[in-house]
Amino acid sequence: MFSPSVAKPLGYLLSIGFLIGAARAAGPPPDLGRDVLPPNDGWASQPTAALPLGTTGGSNAAAARTVTVTNRNELVAALAWPDPAPKLIYIRGTIDANVDEALKPLACKDYQRPDPMTGEAYSLPAFLAMYDPEGPLGKDKKDPFGGPENARAASAAAQAARVRIRVPPNTTLFGLGADATLVGAWLDIAGPSAEARGGNEPVNVIIRNLNFVDTADCFPEWSPSDGATGNWNSAYDSISVRHATHVWIDHNRFADLRTRDDTQPTYYAHRYQVHDGLLDITDESDLVTVSWNQFAVHDKAMLIGNSDAAVADRDKLRVTLHHNLFDNVGQRTPRVRFGKVHVYNNLYHVASDTNYHSSWGAGVESQIYAENNYFEMSTMFGPMEVIDGKKGTRITTAGNCWRENAGACEVTDFVAVWNAKFDPDLSADAGWTPSLYGGAGGADIPAEARERVLSSSGPGKVVPGGGFRVSPN
Ligand code: CA
Ligand code: CA
């Protein structure tokens, strides 16, 4: 007998002929939560010895491990980290991560803790007075130390214990309807043993059809040596992938609402940045597909590789991004170090009031292959801003187009545009050719990709087969 994890890909292949058509016509709606990543759909579909079918998540979860959760504590209990037994967890309604064991909402002040050494209470005014770059301690740019910093760190740890939600191997998280929402949560997808010993391991996780809102750090840290004059940095991504292979992130929406950057105060002449990334892929992770998501109203969306010094990331960090909407996002869509990253058929939309910085961060040893993406941009910005040279030396850009306001989308060679403006020049050959999408010709033309992203990305739009379309060639 087939296990469901075997039956699903076979069913997918057969369904091209008739199976799903028959189910639509006669039977009950397909159980989309048990879908697996289709063959050939980006790097996460790459078969390995451990996962010969690619990414299957919790598609073959037993009935006892197939549950619907409606609050944070039920979700954490259902995940039972680090238990690797397959789990299919449906999320219904809005789940706030900032709650206590009795589900009472927790505000930032509820997490405030004293300095464990001295008992000195946490106080933002005391913190700001102590580490002021213009003050006596600030001029040597040392990282904060002492009472107010200790109290900040203890307070941050108290919040992390609530909002960090660890996702174990062989799990599918699937939102019911279009409005299933995680507020303030950090989904931490990490290989349980690789995290401790280094390297990566197959985690086989699928996250689909969810809204991620307002992942925010109540206690940003002050980093005086970040940039010329320091910066505020925060700790929680909506999703982080670490020491992990085979992750499929599909049909989700990520956005800041209550905690939008433009609602945050400024201290030391820098925005008090309460956000980190929306979806960061780091620490030797590999084989990830990010498809049909919406990333909106945020500064730094997606970091792939978090340090120039992390040479263990070489030959890893292989990620596919396709048919995602990046709507008024500032930068890092994505920003890449080391990895071979295929960025195709995404829609970038930026309005005039956005703090837009760049789209593709070409970091050290990165090999971005950017194909048939559509840029729909305010005239405030120009095509020389798409690539951000961050010690990268090569990037392939093919078939992408740039449109200002109501004009036509002009096919644009972003490498040539960059090279005309900046030095040293980038090579226009990333040194590899993607194949896990039907091969050459597997991408939609940009105008078609734009239409499909607008009509079919985000929660509530999941269809059997994941929206992936086998190339006609
Ligand atoms: Ca991060
Ligand atoms: Ca040049």
Which span out of 27-41, 196-210, 434-448 was modeled with the highest average pLDDT?
196-210
pLDDT number for residue 473: 31
CA 417 to ligand 2 center in whole angstroms: 9
Ligand nearest to the CA of 186: 1
Mean pLDDT along residues 230-252: 97
Catalytic residue from among 332, 335, 337, 450? 332
Domain 34-102+152-467: what homologous superfamily?
Answer: Single-stranded right-handed beta-helix, Pectin lyase-like (2.160.20.10)
Q: Which amino acid is at 432?
A: W
Residue 332: active-site member? yes
What integer pLDDT is reported at residue 184 of this predicted model?
Answer: 98
Q: Which of 292, 257, 261 is nearest to 276 (CA)?
A: 261
What kind and span of H or E run contains 397?
strand 395-398
Distance 400 CA to ligand 2 centre (A): 20
Distance 413 CA to ligand 2 centre (A): 14
> Which ligand is in closest contact with the Cα of 235?
1
pLDDT value at 12 more than 80: no
Residue 364 tokens, joined: 């050290």
Ligand number nearest CA of 384 is: 2
Q: In what order do the strands lie in the sheet with 367-371?
A: 66-69, 87-91, 171-175, 201-208, 244-250, 286-291, 319-322, 340-344, 367-371, 395-398
**C-alpha 420: how far from chain center:** 32
Query: How many Å lie between the centroid of ligand 2 and the Cα of residue 378?
Result: 25
Q: How far apart are the CA of 348 and the centre of ligand 2, in A?
A: 25
Cβ(197)–Cβ(283) below 8 Å: no
What's the pLDDT at 29?
A: 56
Tokens at 190, concatenated: 């990490």
The phi and psi torsions of 414 (rounded to 5 degrees) equal -70, -25
For a pLDDT cut of 70, what percent of the chain falls above it?
Answer: 92
- Residue 3 Cα, ligand 1 centroid: separation in angstroms? 36
**Which of 4-18, 165-179, 347-361, 436-450 has the least mean pLDDT?**
4-18
Q: Judge contact between 271 and 261, C-beta under 8 A.
A: yes
What is the whole-number distance in angstroms between the Cα of residue 428 and the centre of ligand 2? 12
Residue 301: nearest ligand to its CA? 1
User: Which has the minimum average pLDDT: 135-149, 270-284, 344-358?
Assistant: 135-149
Ligand 2 mean position to 361 CA, how many Å? Answer: 17
Pairing of β 94-96 and β 201-208: unpaired
Q: Nearest ligand, CA of residue 421?
A: 2
**Closest ligand to residue 426's CA:** 2
Q: How far apart are the C-alpha atoms of 102 and 120, rounded to whole Å?
A: 28
Q: What region does 4 belong to: left with phi over 0, alpha with psi -120 to 50, or beta? A: alpha
Residue 371's DSSP bridge partners are 344, 398
Are residues 267 and 128 in contact, defined by beta-carbon separation less than 8 angstroms? Answer: yes
Give bridge partners of residue 379 from the DSSP assignment.
Answer: none
Q: What per-residue string of b and e applies to 77-116 under the rule 16 or more CB within 10 Å gives b?
A: ebbeeeeeebbbbbbeeebbbbbeeeeeebeeeebbbbbe
158 CA to centre of ligand 1 in angstroms: 18
Q: What is the pLDDT of residues 31-52, one digit of tens each?
A: 899 999 999 999 999 999 999 9
Confidence at residue 441, expressed as pLDDT on a 0 to 100 scale: 76
Q: How far is residue 271 from each of residues 145, 267, 429, measured CA to CA in Å? A: 21, 6, 37
Distance CA 115, CA 153 (A): 8
Distance 422 CA to ligand 1 centre (A): 28
Closest CA to 300 of 271, 270, 325, 280: 280
pLDDT of amino acid 48: 97
Collapsed DSSP state (helix, strand, coil) of residue 338 = coil
Tell me whether residue 468 is exposed, middle or buried, using C-beta atoms within 10 angstroms of its C-beta: 0 to 12, 13 to 18, 19 or more. Answer: buried
Q: What's the CA gap between 75 and 72, in Å, rounded?
A: 5
Residue with tokens 């900046």: 422
pLDDT category of residue 463 using cuts at 50, 70 and 90: confident
Q: State yes or no: pLDDT of 11 exceeds 50.
A: no
Phi first, then psi: give them for residue 200, nearest 5 degrees.
Answer: -140, 170
- Specify whether the CB–CB gap between 133 and 229 falls below 8 A: yes
